[in-house]
Structure 1
Amino acid sequence: MVTSAAVIPAAAAPQTPDASGDVAVNRMDADAADWTPQRMRSAMPLDKVLSVSTGLVSEVLGSLPGLLPGATSTGDEWTGGGAVTKTAGRVFFKMDGQDASCSGNVVESGNGSVVVTAGHCVKYQGTWHTDWVFVPGYDNGAAPHGEWAAEQTMTTPQWEADEDMNHDVGMAVVEEKGGRTVADTVGTQQIAFNGERGQEMYSFGYPAAEPYDGSTLTYCNGGTFTDPLLTDDHGMNCDMTGGSSGGPWFSSFDPETGTGVQESVNSFGYTFLPNVMFGPYFGDEAKTLYEKASAA
């Protein structure tokens, strides 16, 4: 999640990005061989500062307490099992010479290879991340379902142009292994766009900044609201920290089966509003991004 814990330096040198319709695309050579358990454990959580003006905050901060719905969980280890323990996972990549981490989730797609994450988990401060891999079902350094290297990473044109938090959505098209896709291997979750606001949702991720260490799948659950400050994003009571960025938000989530409909990702938090997470609304721009990734 984008929070106030640290300022991240500029990212690593780009590979071969191109403009492909209304989607920003980065093509790379898939290679997950170097991501050892120790390297994954030591990857730093991606994090940054989001600045807002004091004047703007003073005008609307007083109304926020009434917007925050109750929460069942604000950041607990997920022990319920089900499909989410396979489709959700950690994302690892290299940025400015440093190993970093986010979270992601496999969704149903035409090619069976689409992982959804946050825009800043594929491209940040004007440069694409490299050495990008997805580890579904990550468990304290173990990769029970393999490591899936990205062949392409993509983001919305709004994130590409000026890192608009309303469109902090990224996707990756990952390699096949032995003729099998990541969807063949771990299954998928549904994805939807232009959905209702104010739904009860579950968010999942692998927070790695204190007090978490990135070792286990963590979740938050409760009602959501629309951000009244700088974005039109979803908000939720949640104390997940850096490293959870890109993890899925599900509507219609069934705790018994671990399945739901993905409608957002963990994106950012305000420095003055602790323990509240925000995620972008999946509208037409996110749908276009998904359609491009699904057809790659």
Structure 2
Amino acid sequence: MRSIRTPATPQRRRRTVLAATGLVAALALTATACNGSDEERAADQGGATASQGADGAGDSTGDNAGEGEIGIPSDIAGRLEEHGIDVDDWKNGGWKNWDKDKWLSEAKDFVNPVIEGLWKPERMQSAKEADKTVTTKDTSAGQGVSDPEPAPVQATAETTPYHDNAAPVGKIFFDSPEGSMVCSGTVIKDVNHPGKSNLVWTAGHCVHAGQNGGWYRNIVFVPAFNDLGKSDTELNDADPVEIAPYGNWWADWASTSNGWIEGGSETGGAGAAYDYAVLHVQPEQGSTSLEETVGAALDVDFSAPAAAEAGSMGAWGYPAAPPYNGLKMFKCLDQPGRLSLSPALPTMYRIGCTMTGGSSGGGWFRVVDGETRLVSNTSIGPADNTWLAGPQLGQDARALYRNMSETYGGR
């Protein structure tokens, strides 16, 4: 099958990102340096409650891997067999079996073999938003420490081409029991592999169903998706490089928090405050790292600043629920407030924003010492799409990140 990956040209590897005017300009993301931040290098392991996906996906070069087939390495095949899953059945479409007894749910159970050519442009266009909608009732318990609901902020379209203006931001595709779904994600730096990161930050609910489910499948990240912001009609005749200028990047390792795995629900639930995840990805074709290919990546800010002291934040993503269709990148900028779902849970950030489902997992950015860093990700929002909320990223999130970097980053 035809791959949609086209190598980035040298010119595209020197892009500045999220460049704009006014307040957005303050959030401009420049092409990355070749080392992590001093804060990250000094960070210790912390008291992690994070959980990692172990023994991730293989590639399409395994035994008997022909065109359009899955080549499953022996270690992954063995683990599938341990769960009572027939490897041949899996290769022939058994991954579509979402029976509760065969839905891999534990942190150590993550598998995501590459299926080259699976995510064709038409399949991408048919994927639906992964939505986490809350109601007034869901947020009433913590109103004593929540700030007033913010005024809606109308999302604005990012300037095209995205590889010039928002190269680290992209779209995540995956398969779930409900069908093909979409989220958003961000290329982040890898402190232990400077300049050669293969890490992507997103939401936990974009990779794992939470307490009543398991790991989603066929998880792929597409940076700068639909680079020129074309309409669905225009995409019918678009060159593949316009849809995926840096190609498809399959998650071969995944980590999300124990808080999400144990407490996440269809409306976020108790897991919303821990709704973050890190992917380690590999190209569907080629061997160059994601950061080298895209030309940019962001540091993550794990200081969990109080909302009143955080300054302005910007959220970027690909909203897919009406009135949006998931084909274009949007952004919102606002001063964050606090959202408390329960006195027993960490406070979340909340900003006014009209982005809908599909923007889930998209990065929130703020300026620290003149440098733009990822500080949160989109997790939940109300049914009327007037605001978004994201988790604070503290010691547990840092431990999850460092474990991914140290254990899987060099693979």
Same fold (TM over 0.5): yes
TM-score range, shorter chain: 0.7 to 0.9
Q: Is the 8 A contact 2:145 2:338 kept in 1?
A: no
Please, which of 171, 194, 208 is the counterpart of residue 278 of structure 2? 171
1:260 equivalent in alignment to 2:372: yes
* Counterpart check, 1:37 vs 2:138: no
- 1:279/1:83 Cα in 2 relative to 1: closer, same or farther (>3 Å)? farther
- 1:293 counterpart SS class: helix
CA 1:150–1:32 in 2, change beyond 3 Å: closer, same or farther? farther
Residue 48 (structure 1) shift:
4.0
Query: What amino acid does structure 2 have at the position aligned with 1:99?
Result: S
Match of 1:289 in 2: 400
Q: CA deviation at 1:83?
A: 6.2
Q: Is the 8 A contact 1:30 1:175 kept in 2?
A: no
Aligned to 2:174: 93
- Structure 1 counterpart of 2:166, one-letter code: T
* Alignment map for 1:125-204 (pairs within 5 Å): 125-139=212-226, 140=230, 142-163=243-264, 164-176=271-283, 177-186=285-294, 187-198=296-307, 199-204=311-316
Aligned residue type for 1:29: P
CA distance in 2 between counterparts of 1:185 and 1:146 reads: 9
More helix by share: 2
After TM superposition, give the deviation of residue 228 of structure 1 in Å.
Answer: 3.8
Match of residue 121 from structure 1: 206
Unaligned runs of 5+ in 1: 1-10
Q: Could you say which residue in structure 1 is the equivalent of 2:157?
A: 77
> How far is 1:285 from its partner?
1.2
Which residue number corresponds to residue 247 of structure 1? 362
Q: How many residues align?
A: 274
Give 1:53 shift.
3.5
Indicate if the aligned counterparts of 2:175 and 2:219 stay in contact, CA closer than 8 A.
Answer: yes
Measured in 1, the distance between the counterparts of 2:321 and 2:216 equals: 20
Q: Name the CA distance, whole Å, in 2 between partners of 1:219 and 1:268.
A: 16
Q: Is the contact made by 1:32 and 1:149 (CA closer than 8 Å) also made in structure 2? A: no
The structure-2 alpha-carbon separation of the partners of 1:54 and 1:46, relative to structure 1 and needing over 3 Å to count, comes to closer
Higher strand proportion (structure 1 or 2)? 1
Q: Secondary structure at the match of 1:145?
A: coil
TM-score, structure 1 length as denominator?
0.82
Letter of the 1:159 counterpart: W
Deviation at 1:205, TM superposition (A): 0.2
Per the alignment, residue 8 of structure 1 pairs with: none
User: What is the deviation of 1:281?
Assistant: 0.4
Aligned pair partner of 2:319 in 191, 204, 207: 207
Alpha carbons of 1:55 and 1:284: their partners in 2 closer, same or farther (altered >3 Å)? closer
Q: Matches of 2:148 and 2:298 in 1, distance apart?
A: 32
Please list the CA deviations of residues 100-135 of structure 1 after superposition, one character each: whole Å capped at 9, or x if unmatched: 000000000134111000000000142111011000
Give, in angstroms, the shift of residue 18 of structure 1. Answer: 5.3
Deviation for aligned residue 1:50: 3.1
Residue 74 of structure 1 aligns to a residue in which SS?
A: coil
* Structure 2 contact 355–385 (Cα < 8 Å) conserved: no
- Structure-1 separation of matches of 2:245 and 2:125: 15
Do 1:12 and 1:94's aligned partners in 2 also have CA atoms closer than 8 Å?
Answer: no
Amino acid at match of 1:206: Y
Tell me which amino acid in the other structure corresponds to 1:190: D
Further displaced range: 108-117 or 172-181: 172-181
Report the alpha carbon displacement of residue 253 of structure 1 after superposing the two structures with TM.
Answer: 8.2
Q: Secondary structure at the match of 1:41?
A: helix
Query: Where do residues 46-61 of structure 1 align in structure 2 (5 Å cutoff)?
Result: 46-50=130-134, 53=137, 56=140
State the distance in 2 between where 1:16 and 1:149 align. Answer: 18
Distance 1:84 1:285, change over 3 A: farther
Distance, in Å, in 1 between the alignment partners of 2:147 and 2:252 is 45
Rounded to whole Å, the distance in 2 between the matches of 1:279 and 1:232 is: 9
Q: 2-side partners of 1:146 and 1:203: how far apart?
A: 24
Task: Give me the whole-angstrom Cα distance separating, in 2, the residues matched to 1:105 and 1:58.
Answer: 30
Q: Is the 1:32–1:131 Cα contact (8 Å) retained in structure 2?
A: no
Q: Which residue of 2 aligns with 1:3?
A: none
Contact 1:15 1:28 in 2 (8 A): no
Inter-CA distance 266–32: structure 2 relative to 1 (3 Å threshold): farther
Give me the whole-angstrom Cα distance separating, in 2, the residues matched to 1:156 and 1:59. 25
CA contact (8 A) 2:147 2:337 kept: no
CA contact (8 A) 1:12 1:129 kept: no
Q: Which amino acid aligns with 2:289?
A: T
Instruction: Provide the identity percentage.
Output: 28
How far off is 1:33 after superposition?
A: 2.0
Contact 2:132–2:381 (CA under 8 A) maintained in structure 1? no
What is the CA RMSD across the aligned residues, in angstroms?
A: 3.0
Deviation at 1:194, TM superposition (A): 2.0
Q: Which moved more, 1:82-91 or 1:98-107?
A: 82-91
